């Protein structure tokens, strides 16, 4: 039973190695994706470096880059931990294979010595003729044949185990080299992170000197955003009002049709029931098509595509404080590549395209939900157009020297956190 136990052990170790391999591949992809985001932020930072005036976008981009570097170091730590597990498993496998190989060689050596002592053909014939009857003689013949076959199999088995051992030693050596490389990468990343933290400290000192100017910039930005949000809310209100009027008109048309039918059949005219009050969402999903689109949009929560092909969130949803100044972001700010195309995140209909302060925004309706794409340099859709998922709707503009999209998701009037909706 020993060979079978060994095979079972090797199978289990192999399964663990495959699992580790898959996990390592995922970690590598994640690390590469983080590095792409870091490179994009660095490229934008280099472009904005000529501006001596400190901006909120620069502060946010630097903070985002430091966060990404910390995430990358965390991924490298996971890779090292993964390799440590593989090294441990492969080391145990090598020790077990060496032990099994030693035992197999001892057993094989005993068989060879036995064969040497009994190699004389006369001895074999005497062994067979010494049988009590024909049945025992036949069994002894089969025994001698099987002994020779088993010895050959054992020799092949030993060769196979030697190959397995050599392969495991190669893999173990590879694991050790990979770990050494990862440790060096981790050290390099920590050095770069330290430099960026020093830069962050300098920026904060600069911020304290320019805080008054920065507060003024935040106040100006807040006024612009309030103006934009007012325009967006007005557009959404118009959509709700249109949906309400349409629903009420359909109800009145149904009542008139029922009354005409009753009159034609000489029946009493049915008394119209008091209309049930509806929420804005009720009006926006009054038609089967709108209700279905809303349900589909909601069903894709957490897996909607990003509104740009490459980008990093540099400012989160919600309330923010910069020194004594505060402001609220109803969406997220995404730093992206220069001239990046902006894409619809889901099927819907364009309900507003407007321009303020030389920048465009696009409002797309998805049943009860709306997506808003702000800070576009140009647009390629018009009000009333039906769009599909990932269809290009415009090109991103620059804010303070950085290509940046402001993206919102609203359920009726209520702002949602886009990070809970788009794919991780």
Is the pLDDT confidence value at 72 over 80?
yes
Question: Looking at residue 374, what is its pLDDT?
Answer: 92
CA dist., res. 72 & res. 186, Å (int): 9
CA distance 303 to 296: 12
Q: pLDDT band for position 214 (50/70/90)? A: low
Q: Which tokens in the block code for residue 13?
A: 């170790």
| Distance from C-alpha of 373 to C-alpha of 367, rounded to nearest angstrom | 17
Beta bridge partners, 335, equal 312, 404
Which residue carries 């788009």 as its tokens? 422
- Res 362: pLDDT: 95
Set out the domains of the chain in order of their start, with CATH numbers.
2-209 (no CATH), 216-241+300-420 (2.70.70.10)
Question: Is residue 13 very low, low, confident or very high in pLDDT (cuts 50, 70, 90)?
Answer: very low
Of 3-7, 161-165, 213-217, 274-278, where does mean pLDDT reach its minimum?
3-7
Position 50 scores a pLDDT of 60
Mean of the per-residue pLDDT values for the chain? 77
Q: Is 212 a residue whose pLDDT tops 70?
A: no
Q: Between 218 and 408, whose confidence is greater? A: 408
Q: What is the pLDDT of residues 96-150, one digit of tens each?
A: 767 767 776 776 677 666 666 555 544 555 555 566 777 776 676 676 666 666 6
Q: Are 305 and 343 in contact (CB under 8 A)?
A: yes
Q: How far apart are CA 387 and CA 393, in angstroms?
A: 8
Phi, psi of 330 (to 5 degrees): -80, 0
pLDDT at 293: 93
For 177-194, write each residue's pLDDT tens digit. 777 887 888 888 888 778
226-264 confidence digits (pLDDT tens): 778 888 888 888 888 888 888 777 777 766 776 777 667
What's the pLDDT score for residue 138? 67
């Amino acid at each position: 039973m020993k060979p079978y136990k060994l095979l079972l052990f090797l199978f289990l170790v192999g399964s663990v190695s495959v699992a580790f391999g898959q996990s390592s591949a995922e970690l590598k992809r994640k690390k590469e994706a983080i590095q792409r985001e870091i490179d994009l932020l660095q490229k934008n930072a280099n472009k904005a470096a000529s501006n001596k005036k400190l901006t909120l976008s620069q502060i946010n981009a630097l903070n985002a880059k430091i966060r990404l570097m910390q995430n990358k170091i965390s991924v490298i730590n996971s890779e090292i931990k993964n390799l440590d597990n593989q090294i441990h498993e492969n080391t145990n496998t090598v020790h077990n294979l060496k032990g099994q190989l030693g035992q197999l060689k001892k057993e094989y050596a005993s068989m060879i010595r036995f064969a040497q002592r009994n190699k004389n053909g006369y001895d074999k014939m005497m062994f067979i003729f010494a049988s009590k009857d024909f049945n025992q003689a036949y069994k002894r013949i089969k025994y001698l044949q099987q002994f020779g076959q088993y010895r050959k199999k054992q020799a092949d088995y030993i060769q196979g185990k030697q190959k397995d051992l050599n392969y495991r030693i190669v893999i173990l050596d590879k694991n050790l080299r990979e770990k050494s490389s990862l440790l060096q990468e981790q050290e390099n990343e920590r050095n770069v992170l330290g430099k960026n933290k020093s830069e962050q400290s300098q920026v904060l000192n600069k911020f304290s000197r320019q805080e008054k100017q920065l507060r003024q910039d935040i106040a100006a930005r807040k006024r612009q955003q309030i103006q934009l949000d007012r325009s967006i809310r007005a557009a959404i209100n118009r959509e709700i009002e249109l949906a309400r009027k349409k629903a009420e008109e359909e109800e009145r048309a149904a009542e008139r049709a029922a009354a005409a039918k009753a009159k034609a059949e000489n029946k009493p005219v049915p008394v119209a029931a008091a209309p049930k009050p509806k929420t804005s969402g009720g009006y926006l999903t009054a038609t089967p098509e709108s209700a279905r689109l809303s349900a589909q949009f909601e069903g894709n929560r957490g897996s909607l595509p990003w509104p740009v092909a490459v980008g990093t969130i540099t400012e989160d949803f919600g309330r923010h404080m910069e020194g004594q100044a505060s402001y609220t972001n109803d969406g997220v700010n995404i730093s992206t590549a220069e001239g990046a195309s902006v894409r619809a995140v889901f099927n819907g209909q364009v309900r507003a395209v407007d321009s303020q302060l030389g920048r465009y925004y696009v409002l797309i309706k998805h049943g009860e939900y709306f997506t808003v794409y702000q800070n576009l340099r140009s647009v390629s859709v018009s009000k009333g157009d039906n769009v599909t998922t990932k269809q290009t709707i415009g090109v991103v503009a620059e804010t303070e020297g950085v290509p940046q999209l402001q993206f919102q998701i609203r359920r009726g009037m209520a702002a949602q956190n886009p990070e809970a909706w788009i794919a991780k």
